[in-house]
Amino acid sequence: MKKIRVFFDKEGNTLDVWFEKPRKVISEETGEEVILKKDPKTKKVIGFEKLNFISGKTKIEDLPVEVVVS
């Protein structure tokens, strides 16, 4: 089973999610504060970045996160 890697950048307020090992990518903006990360050769989406992840007074500790292992 492949790992999904999730990185939160507190200063940049972005959340990066990788479905494959992080590497050089082609970035494609969706217009909804989401940037798709695509493999340069296959154009397959291998991750995404959510801009302005936390809004208002929400704290990262207050976000509901569920980890499911199957």
Residue type, 47: G
pLDDT in the model for residue 28: 97
Per-residue pLDDT of 39-58, as tens digits, reads 999 999 999 999 998 887 77
Query: What local confidence, expressed as pLDDT, does residue 50 receive?
Result: 93
| Residues 7 and 16: beta-carbon distance below 8 Å | yes
Q: Which amino acid is at 64?
A: P
Percent of the chain clearing pLDDT 70 (strictly above)? 89
Give the pLDDT confidence score for residue 70 in this predicted structure.
Answer: 42
Q: What is the mean pLDDT of residues 23-41?
A: 96
Pairing mode, if any, of strands 14-18 and 45-50?
Answer: antiparallel
